[in-house]
Chains A and B, each alone.
Chain A
Amino acid sequence: MKKFITTAAMAVSILLLSGNSVVAKESVASLRGTQDLQGQSLKVTRKKLVSQEGGFERSYKQQPPMIPHKIDKYKINLKNNGCLKCHSKKNHKKEKAPMLGESHFLTRDGKKLDHVSSRRYFCNQCHAPQVDANPLVKNEFDGLK
């Protein structure tokens, strides 16, 4: 009998509490009113990827060079690295592609390897292609020449 009463009491209290929250949702009014969330925002313009011969000007020393060509067809995963098809030690001369910097072959302890170090294997962590998005505000910054 005691057990029955305690479980009944628990069930009723749970129902009441959950009932409260349901009622609460329906009566909340937003400050926005009835305006559509998406309606007022400006449509985002798509920007196209820029391919530039000779590469982009760097802003500071040691900056990872930006990618001057489209990369959507290349993949990097554990099995294959699409970038290395042209930029590896073996292929870069034939493909006339910039060679990886020496830093890409060093381990964490500074030891030199004959292949790309795992620290630098995922190119996209540092290198990015560029889009033709002009600065919104005029900028007179003079980068590295």
Chain B
Amino acid sequence: MTSGQKKGTFSVLLIGIILGIALWGGFNWAMELTNTEEFCISCHEMRDNPYEDLQETIHFTNRTGVRATCPDCHVPKEWIHKIVRKIQASNELYHHFIVKDVDTPEKFEAKKLELARHVWKAMKDTDSRECRNCHNFDSMDFERQETRSADRHEEAIEKGYTCIDCHKGIAHELPEGYDPGEDAPGGDEDEG
């Protein structure tokens, strides 16, 4: 290799590295923009339905003012899972722009149970991974919980339940007529 060739390849490499950093950074920056609450509620279906449900719940307003926003619960934090979820989100774009099958409150309500089931299934399959972003059984102080809660949490630890088994409806209002007791574990002990 001549000196000129060496210099050439070196500079191409350098430019390539700088460009790569810029583009990769730009890609991640753009992706993080889609990971904000403002982005999620820019679709009116989300703003008028799930976001409204959220307003009165403990994940939105509570004693300490610590909030969970849309991506905290619905977008995984680990990069690979996040990318998979982002690709799956194209389905949401499809339903918003092309099929338009949830753009009125009535249509949304009609599909609510189906949509809820998707999310519950995803959470169950990942053992409530997004809940565990913040909540941790080991860090729970059972003395500070109400007795009913402490008993159920201890039962959940023993029997290996996952958060979403019992905490359906914690953030968004349950679909009409849905009884969470049907899907809660331990329901077969004595049928009422």
Identity of the chain B residue whose Cβ is nearest the Cβ of A85 in the assembled complex? B180
* A80 cross-chain contacts in B, Cβ below 8 A: 169, 173-174, 176, 178
Q: At the interface, yes or no: B20 with Cβ under 8 Å from chain A?
A: no
Q: Tell me how far the C-beta of A137 lies from the nearest C-beta in chain B, rounded to whole angstroms.
A: 32
The answer to whether A89 and B192 have CB atoms under 8 Å apart is yes
- Number of A residues near B (Cβ < 8 Å) is 19
Identity of the chain B residue whose Cβ is nearest the Cβ of A92 in the assembled complex? B192
* B173 cross-chain contacts in A, Cβ below 8 A: 75, 79-80
- Number of B residues near A (Cβ < 8 Å) is 23
Q: At the interface, yes or no: A112 with Cβ under 8 Å from chain B?
A: no
Q: Is the interface of B mostly helix, strand, loop or mixed?
A: loop
The CA of A92 and the CA of B189, in the complex, are separated in Å by 12
The answer to whether A94 and B57 have CB atoms under 8 Å apart is no
The CA of A57 and the CA of B174, in the complex, are separated in Å by 34
The answer to whether A69 and B146 have CB atoms under 8 Å apart is yes
Identity of the chain B residue whose Cβ is nearest the Cβ of A97 in the assembled complex? B148
Q: Given A53, A73, A91, which contacts B147 in the complex, CB threshold below 8 Å?
A: A53
> Knowing A80-B173, A90-B181, A93-B192 touch, does A69 contact B148 (C-beta < 8 A)?
yes
Most central of B178, B179, B186, B191 by chain A CB within 10 Å: B179
The answer to whether B179 and A90 have CB atoms under 8 Å apart is yes
* A90 cross-chain contacts in B, Cβ below 8 A: 179, 181, 191-192
The CA of A84 and the CA of B179, in the complex, are separated in Å by 9
Contact code string A50-85 (vs B, CB < 8 Å = 1, else 0) = 010100000000000000011001010001100011
Q: In the complex, given contacts A85-B180, A88-B192, what are 15 additional A-B residue pairs having Cβ atoms less than 8 angstroms apart?
A: A51-B146, A53-B147, A73-B58, A79-B173, A79-B174, A80-B174, A89-B192, A90-B191, A91-B179, A93-B189, A94-B184, A94-B187, A94-B189, A94-B190, A95-B148
Some 25 contacts from A to B, beta carbons below 8 A apart, are A51-B146, A69-B146, A70-B146, A79-B173, A79-B174, A79-B175, A79-B176, A80-B173, A80-B176, A80-B178, A85-B179, A85-B181, A88-B179, A88-B192, A90-B179, A90-B181, A90-B192, A91-B179, A91-B181, A91-B192, A93-B192, A94-B184, A94-B189, A94-B190, A95-B181
